[in-house]
Amino acid sequence: MNAPLTPFLDTSDFPDLQALTDGFATQRQASRAQTDVPLAWRRERLTRLLSLIDTHGPALAQAVQADFGVRSEALTEVADFFVLRATIGQLLRQLPKWMKPQRVGTPIYLQPAHAYIQRQPLGVVGVIGPWNYPLQLTLGPLAAAWAAGNRVMMKPSELTPRTSALLAELLHQHFDRADVQVVLGGADVAQAFADLPFDHLFFTGSTLVGRKVAQAAARNLTPTTLELGGKSPCIVDASCDLSEAAVKILHGKLLNGGQTCIAPDYIFVPKGQEAALEQALRAALVRLFGTSPVGHPDYASIATDRHHQRLQTLLDEARSLGAEVRELCEADRGGVSAHPRQFAPVLVLQPPAESRLMQEEIFGPILPVLSYERFEDVVAYINARPRPLALYWFGKDQAACQRVLHHTVSGGVTVNDTLMHIAHKGLPFGGVGDSGWGAYHGEIGFLRFTHQKGVFVQSPWALGHWFYPPYGKRLAQLLSVLRRLM
């Protein structure tokens, strides 16, 4: 698309704080003027958002490709649009049910009154999106917030500038700015954005930045949802079929060039099976990408030079500390040109615990391998570290699987696969501890952006006056009866 871009606020040179606050004031006024947001309003905007994705999906995918260097339209269709369509479809189907007041039982001492929970919009929701899935992780929260009847301000990542600018253009072209506004700019703009007194602030990104967002929100007592990251372990049990598991592990690790918050960050393998696992992973790589992923159009490049250099630094440090680094692919693609930021996948055997590779979220196609002898050692290692966003277990021994599930805490789990728990519409998705707080997707996501107001309706035949002073023998007798019934 060659039309001039007209974002709400282009702060590439300096933040226009007045425009930012004016935009927020517009949405706040709209949200306060319409606290009872009807089903038709919500469905109409979700339907138009779905139409925007269908109509402009190719242009958006091309923008993502241009930002990354290599990120095929097919990958964006699978990783961004497929999830978005499923999300919006579920919202459209389930909204009538989710919006209804929820009746709750009334205890005997308050009968014959009745009570219910009224589900209302929060007001204005801020969404700060990441660069790794720049469409799914900005438009998904937008859809959930709209389903709950809110107005939304969005700050997409400056690291995907073409995608962010096109999102701003399309959303402002197709929607009123009282419903959605997009703010463009860098870290200074993100800071000013997080300082606004939103009714809810939704952030997806690193734990380091998430702490800053939480601190900014706390100044306004703004509740937050923080979708962060962490080091998600993958446990291979002795009962596992390595050839079957390797394809699923490698797919989860290499999707989007490893730039996925729930990618397997390191893998535990039973002692003595290291060589077999390596061979299985090599065979899996051939199955997924042929002779080599480097040069393959479906193997995403690392998003920026800085991130690419960081991965190389992590590898170099691990090697200098004595870890064994092994490239998984041994051949190129027969002269096919590769993008300079396509990072060849590697295994790192037994990296030291003090290495940055084992201290930081990797966010790239580097897979550390740790061997173990006892289940207890695996659990102790995981539980001694910040709680991960995801955990993966592979094997056929269901008793061993249940031991892992009961003795570890993580944001989510997929058994005998990777990533798939995020694709299940009925499961909450979110972190715990350092990997974030608050979950969304499905009804959980709808409720994340909803105020649940308790409503008590007194009966004309209420006996509440029995509890009024002056207190005496009658109250004592009443309380004695009620204690036996409670």
Same domain, 108 and 140: yes
Please indicate whether residue 227 is annotated as part of the active site: yes
CATH of residue 136: 3.40.605.10
Asked if 125 and 181 sit in the same domain, the reply is: yes
Residue 21 and residue 151 share a domain: yes
The verdict on 95 and 215 lying in the same domain is yes
Q: End of a domain among 382, 397, 417?
A: 382
Rounded CA-CA distance 46/461 in Å is 45
Question: How would you class 384 by CB atoms within 10 Å of its CB: exposed for 0-12, middle for 13-18, buried for 19 or more?
Answer: exposed
Neighbouring-strand partners of residue 204: 227
Please indicate whether residue 411 or residue 3 has the higher confidence score (pLDDT).
411
Kindly state the percentage of the chain with pLDDT values over 90: 86
Predicted confidence at residue 263, as pLDDT, reads 97
Pairing verdict, β 324-327 and 346-349:
antiparallel
Contact 410, 420 (CB under 8 A): no
Assess whether 444 and 351 both reside in one domain: no
The pLDDT of 109-129, averaged and rounded, is 96
170 and 30, same structural domain?
A: yes
Say yes or no: 171 and 46 in one domain: yes
- Band the pLDDT of 462: cuts 50, 70, 90: confident
pLDDT at 115: 97
Amino acid at 345: P
Say whether pLDDT at 434 is over 80. yes
- C-alpha 388/C-alpha 377 separation (Å) is 17
Give the per-residue pLDDT at 386.
96
Residues 6+ apart with CB under 8 A from 15: 9, 185, 188, 189, 192
User: Could you confirm whether 329 is annotated as catalytic?
Assistant: no
Position 393 in a domain: no
Residue 114: give the domain boundaries. 9-228+439-451
CATH of residue 370: 3.40.309.10
Q: Which two tokens stand for residue 390?
A: 């995801």
| Residue found under tokens 């009334």 | 106
In the structure, what pLDDT confidence band is assigned to residue 337 with cuts at 50, 70 and 90? low
Among 169, 227, 361, 443, the one annotated catalytic: 227
Q: pLDDT band for position 37 (50/70/90)? A: very high
Q: What is the pLDDT of residue 11?
A: 42
Does the pLDDT at position 111 exceed 70?
yes
Is residue 220 a part of any domain in this protein?
yes
232 and 367 Cβ atoms separated by less than 8 Å: no
How many CA atoms lie within 13 Å of 426's alpha carbon, on the beta-carbon side?
0
Other beta carbons within 10 angstroms of residue 292's beta carbon come to 23
Q: Across the chain, what does the average pLDDT equal? A: 93
- Is 103 inside any structural domain? yes
Q: Are residues 197 and 60 in the same domain?
A: yes
The pLDDT of residue 465: 80
* Residue 202 domain-assigned (yes or no): yes
Q: Which of 342, 357, 382 is the last residue of a domain?
A: 382
Within this chain, do residues 147 and 277 fall inside the same structural domain, yes or no? no
Which pTM value belongs to this model?
0.93
CA angle 18, 228, 186 (to 5 degrees): 30
Distance CA 264, CA 284 (A): 15
pLDDT at 297 over 70: yes
Average pLDDT over residues 27-46: 97
Which region among 226-230, 417-421, 472-476 has the lowest average model confidence (pLDDT)? 472-476
User: So what's the pLDDT on residue 332?
Assistant: 60
The pLDDT of residue 473 is 84
In a domain, 18, yes or no: yes
Q: Are residues 197 and 243 in the same domain?
A: no
Whether the pLDDT of residue 235 is over 60: the answer is yes
Residue 338 has pLDDT above 90, yes or no: no
Residue 160 pLDDT > 70: yes
> Which residues are within 8 A (CB) of 16 and not within 5 positions of it... i.e. 6 or more apart?
9
Return all residues near 71 (Cβ < 8 A) that are at least 6 apart: 64, 65, 256, 257, 300, 301
Q: Which of 261, 329, 361, 401 is catalytic?
A: 261
Q: Is residue 151 included in any domain, yes or no?
A: yes
pLDDT per residue over 241-293, tens digit each?
999 999 999 999 999 999 999 999 999 999 999 999 999 999 999 999 988 89
Residue 108 and residue 127 in one domain = yes
C-alpha 89, offset from chain centre: 19
Residue 469, domain member (yes or no): no
Q: Compute the average pLDDT of residues 181-203.
A: 95
Is the residue at 462 inside a domain? no
CB of 344 closer than 8 Å to CB of 327: yes
| Whether residue 112 has a cis bond before it, omega within 30° of 0 | yes
Mean pLDDT of 354-365: 96
Cβ-based neighbours of 165, under 8 Å, separated by 6 or more: 5, 7, 63, 184
Where residue 3 falls among pLDDT bands split at 50, 70, 90?
Answer: very low
Number of domains present in the structure of the chain = 2
- Give the number of other Cβ atoms within 10 Å of residue 79's Cβ: 20
**For residue 474, what pLDDT is reported?**
82
254 and 216 share one domain: no
Q: Which of 109, 378, 414 is closest to 270 using CA atoms? A: 378
